[in-house]
Structure 1
Amino acid sequence: MTEKEVIGVDLGGTAIKLGRFLSNGTCLESLTIPTPQPATPEAVMSTIEQGVQQLNHQKKAVALGIGTPGPTDAKGRIALLAINLSGWHNVPLAQTLEEKTGLKTSIANDANCAGLGEAWLGAGKNYQNLILLTLGTGVGGAIILNGKLFTGHLGSAAELGLITINPEGAPCNSGNNGSLEQYVSATAIYRDTHKTPAELGELAENNDLSALTFWENYGKKLAYGLTSLIYVLTPEAIIIGGGVCASSKYFLPSVEAEIEKRVLPTSRVGLKLMVAQLGNQAGIVGAAKLALDNC
């Protein structure tokens, strides 16, 4: 019996990544195309169609999965909004690409796709219940429960960066104040220190006391948010991804110590805290898994 092939797409503001996968996770071929500017829905869908045709030249793929930078509807058909792309409001992305490519198409938020990728082939592959937290320009997340992506009512669950850790804290774009994102994102780090996470990581590498102290305190703040998530979800694993995790060795010990102080042992039995493994490939891997799960 011939193994199924699917195509995963990670739609970003500067690049569109595509990969053709077997159902066992083997990537047969990949491709990166610049995102058209302006990134209107029509231009982006045309570019994705061309990329899919290039990858699917042998016509073996049976489904297409796409990670989009914004929320999608509960059925995985409509891109409700795409952050950093122009004119994206209620775009019927799945239906349009099905018509263009002839492949059954599913879409999901890009952080959800990254979580699916890590759960399938990355750091979370041995766990059924896990959280992925992506620490980048903002803070995104994904929740996997009983091996399945949890998207909640109308598909908008797992906005993990928007939970409150200080009601009197800095204002957030969501309308909240003191959300986790306002303390642990790369944007917040630069706002508070006038240094990038990479610069602070390099200073820590050279045993700079102020940088080491910064990362220790950073870990505590991250743990404040994780504590709430652990009590609600009791995951087997928490996976930390995104650019900030390049300095994880300086803040994860502090995260672990704080969690041990703040979370009852019964709520963290066997809990593993680890760094994401798939890096920039998590999006296309997860999008391919999305396609497999829905074909």
Structure 2
Amino acid sequence: MPDAQVIGVDLGGTAIKLARIRFDGTVLAEAQCPTPQPAVPGAVTMALCEVIEQIDPEHAAKAVGIGLPGPMDAAARVARVCINLPGWEDVPLADWLESRINRRVTLANDGNCAVVGEAWLGAARGVDDVVLLTLGTGVGGGVLLRGELFTGHNGAAAEPGLIGIQPDGPACNSGNRGSLEQFASITGLRRLCDRDPRELSAEADAGDPVALEVWSRYGERLGCGVASLVYMLTPQLVLLGGGLAGAAHHFLPSVRREVESRVQAVSREGLRIEAACLGNGAGRLGAARLALQRLNGMMAPD
């Protein structure tokens, strides 16, 4: 069914990004709106209803996939918790939306959506074992094992940004301390140098030694977390996405050095660590792909 359409949504703490996408991954229309503040469930639900109708007034899309920053239930209907959004605990978002927009809805972790998008049409295409980290306001991610999305026995896996790397480190909204997120997010970068990441990247592009050193130290901390993930999952590919990945050329070398120094050769044999290639479009693309798979029983062509 090459003319089938679905809507993919990436719900973040500051913006809602969505696209109406054809079965083959072609983006037919796209939109973005600010996430209501505070981003409580009711306000977000109404904002989603409005922007979905805006992008698809003719109801050409029969299904909606939504990526959120947190784990879903195993049925992909309930947002169990969204760590950085207020009031998001066991929110039946799929039920709420379906009764209002008259389209089928499925939910997924936003990091899972990103890795599915990259595997479909991005840097992970054709790779079976992949770990993706999204580096931004927080650190999310997703895991593919043997070509299948790994979500654990109750749908809550994987949260690679929440692994601990420093027992007495900064407190995390998850309840952990010293999580990878506290060192590899924008907040973590600002602990090294309180500058806007785009400015810091531009300064490094111009050869500023202080900026280059900051990115190198950032890469070391990120590499420490990546090393633990490599030991656990031995992927073929680690992808770095999210807003900070635009500066990956500055910190990838130190990430790779750190992983090489921490991980024994047999556990990193054949490993590649690269920047993702779909940018902010990966999440909504993956959400659309999952909606096609889960709700319509359709598989997009390889």
TM above 0.5: yes
Aligned equivalents of 2:161, 2:34: Cα separation in 1: 28
Please say which of residues 50-59 and 152-161 is displaced more in the overlay: 50-59
Tell me if 1:129 matches 2:129.
yes
Deviation sequence 1:142-199 (CA, Å, 0-9, x none): 1112222211132221221221222233333333332222222210221232233333
Decide whether aligned partners of structure 1 residues 43 and 257 sit closer, same or farther in structure 2, where only a CA change above 3 A counts.
Answer: closer
Using the TM superposition, give the Cα deviation of residue 86 of structure 1 relative to its aligned residue in structure 2, in angstroms: 4.6
Within a 5 Å distance, the mapping from 1:1-295 to structure 2 comes to 1=1, 3-83=3-83, 85-295=85-295
Decide whether aligned partners of structure 1 residues 217 and 47 sit closer, same or farther in structure 2, where only a CA change above 3 A counts.
Answer: closer
Opposite residue 277 of structure 2, the aligned amino acid is Q
Aligned-CA RMSD value: 2.2
Using the TM superposition, give the Cα deviation of residue 14 of structure 1 relative to its aligned residue in structure 2, in angstroms: 3.4
Q: Gaps spanning 5+ residues in structure 2: where?
A: 296-302
- Give the share of equivalent positions with the same residue, in percent: 51
Decide whether aligned partners of structure 1 residues 138 and 12 sit closer, same or farther in structure 2, where only a CA change above 3 A counts.
Answer: closer
Deviation sequence 1:219-255 (CA, Å, 0-9, x none): 2221111111111111111110122222211211122
SS in 1 for 2:245: helix
Aligned equivalents of 1:194, 1:102: Cα separation in 2: 46
Using the TM superposition, give the Cα deviation of residue 84 of structure 1 relative to its aligned residue in structure 2, in angstroms: 5.1
Using the TM superposition, give the Cα deviation of residue 66 of structure 1 relative to its aligned residue in structure 2, in angstroms: 0.6
SS in 1 for 2:280: helix
Aligned equivalents of 1:225, 1:35: Cα separation in 2: 30
Decide whether aligned partners of structure 1 residues 168 and 154 sit closer, same or farther in structure 2, where only a CA change above 3 A counts.
Answer: same
Decide whether aligned partners of structure 1 residues 218 and 106 sit closer, same or farther in structure 2, where only a CA change above 3 A counts.
Answer: same
Opposite residue 167 of structure 2, the aligned amino acid is P
Aligned equivalents of 2:201, 2:214: Cα separation in 1: 10
Aligned equivalents of 2:166, 2:294: Cα separation in 1: 39
Deviation sequence 1:114-135 (CA, Å, 0-9, x none): 2221221221122121111111
Deviation sequence 1:74-108 (CA, Å, 0-9, x none): 22101223355454332211122222233221101
SS in 1 for 2:154: helix
Decide whether aligned partners of structure 1 residues 50 and 205 sit closer, same or farther in structure 2, where only a CA change above 3 A counts.
Answer: closer
Q: How many positions carry a matched residue from both structures?
A: 295
Aligned equivalents of 2:208, 2:77: Cα separation in 1: 49
SS in 1 for 2:161: helix
Aligned equivalents of 1:291, 1:142: Cα separation in 2: 17
